[in-house]
Structure 1
Amino acid sequence: MPLLDVKNVKKIYTTRFGGAQVQALSDVTFSVERGEYVAIMGESGSGKTTLLNILAALDKPTSGKVLLNGRDLATVKDREAAAFRRKQLGFVFQEFNLLDTFSVEDNILLPMVLAGRKYKEMQAALEPLASRLGIQGLLRKYPYEISGGQKQRAAVARALITKPQIILADEPTGALDSKAADELMRLFGRINREGQTILMVTHSVKAASSAGRVLFIRDGAVYHQIYRGEQTDEQMYQKISDALTVLVSGGERHE
């Protein structure tokens, strides 16, 4: 059974006064196996953000299903949604979403604090994770005192601290310089090889080329996908670039 199973998902929004309908997703179907690293690409307006919101249980599809480890996300009640997301999902955002009034340590531990975990348990989870991500020396600092790349490492630690089923990353390199972006992608590759499932939405060909599979969304549906196989990052980069050229030009997909 796939870890994440997206079946014929459609999303239609009705405008504020009910005068028109906008179809953001038309028929999205794909699955993600446990331990996969998948990137999603597509032009602005293709439905990527809508899809990510549905996968994050922040929105519900008009029709179709999203199953996480066999559970239909539509059955997650509003009152339990926040707790469900904390336990099952880890989030990495473009703008980090760290609280400047909290230390790096407190930012990382926030999901566990909200879940009511004991201090001893939180420290036991934090110490090996901080060491693994190379941020032990940053824990007492505040977000405004560290670089963008360091902020994103702290955000990754926060995403991992609850041992989520899957990490959902939304343009995680978008606010980083090229060096920090490369470091983050190496970090993603490492934590994926250690068994963490990752699904990343990105506009960056370079970021996507680090994934094991790339899905392309066009007109609200999965249009094409590329599997890494034995290809290098450079070969993936070229294949993704070629696919995006076809995507933008409106041509037919190719393998």
Structure 2
Amino acid sequence: MALLQVNSLKKVYTTRFGGNHVQALSNVNFSVEAGEYVAIMGESGSGKTTLLNILAALDKPTSGDVLLGGRSMAEIKEREISAFRRENLGFVFQDFNLLDTFSLKDNIFLPLVLSGNHHEEMEKRLKPIAKNLGIEELLNKFPYEVSGGQKQRAAVARALITNPQIILADEPTGALDSKATDSLLRLFGEINEAGQTILMVTHSVKAASHASRVLFIKDGEVFHQIYRGNSSIEDMYGKISDTLTLLTTGGKNHE
């Protein structure tokens, strides 16, 4: 059984006075297996952000369903949503979403604090993660004292510390320079090789070329997908670029 199952997802927004309907998603179907590293791409306005918000349980679909670990998100009660997110989902954002008044360590601990974990347990979980991410010496610093790449590593640590079923990454390289981007993509590869499932929404061909599969969204539907297989990152980059050209020129997809 797939870890994440997306079935016939549709999302229609109604404007403030109810006069117009905007269809963000029309019929999205795909699944993600445990241990996969999947990137989602598409032009602005294609529905990527809407899709991510629904997968993150931040928005509800008009119709269709999302199942995580076999559990339908539609069945989760409103009062349980926050706990469900903390226990099952790890988030990595473009702008890091770190609190400047908290040290990096306290930022990383935040989801565990909200879940009521004991301090000893939090320290025990943090030690191997901080070592693997190379941020052991930075934990007592504040976000404004470290680089963008270091902030993003702290954000990855925060996402990992809850042992999530899946990491949802929203343009994780968007605010990073090329060196920090390369470092983060290597890190994501290592995390994935260790068994962590990752779903990343990105505009970056470079970032997507590191994934094992890329889904392309067009007009609110999955238009095409590419599997890495034995392809190199360079080959994957070329295939993604060609598919994006098809998307923007309105060409027909050929599987």
Identity within the alignment, %: 73
Partner SS for 1:199 = strand
Residue 11 of structure 1 corresponds to which residue in structure 2?
A: 11
**What TM-score, normalized by structure 2, do the two folds share?**
0.99
- 2:167 paired with 1:160: no
Give unpaired runs (5+ residues) of structure 1. none
Matches within 5 A, 1:14-163: 14-163=14-163
Distance in 2 separating the partners of 1:166 and 1:142: 27
Cα distance, 1:76 vs. partner? 1.3
Cα distance, 1:134 vs. partner? 0.6
Distance in 1 separating the partners of 2:250 and 2:138: 47
- 2:236 paired with 1:236: yes
Deviation readout 1:66-93 (Å, 9 max, x if unpaired): 0000011111111111111000000000
**What TM-score, normalized by structure 1, do the two folds share?**
0.99
Distance in 1 separating the partners of 2:75 and 2:187: 34
Partner SS for 1:222 = strand
Distance in 2 separating the partners of 1:23 and 1:152: 33
Runs of 4+ residues deviating >2 angstroms: none
Alpha-carbon RMSD: 0.5
Cα distance, 1:21 vs. partner? 0.7
Partner SS for 1:163 = coil
The number of residue pairs the alignment matches comes to 255
- 2:203 paired with 1:187: no
Cα distance, 1:15 vs. partner? 0.6
Distance in 2 separating the partners of 1:16 and 1:172: 31
Distance in 2 separating the partners of 1:247 and 1:253: 8
CA contact (8 A) 1:243 1:254 kept: no
Cα distance, 1:118 vs. partner? 0.3
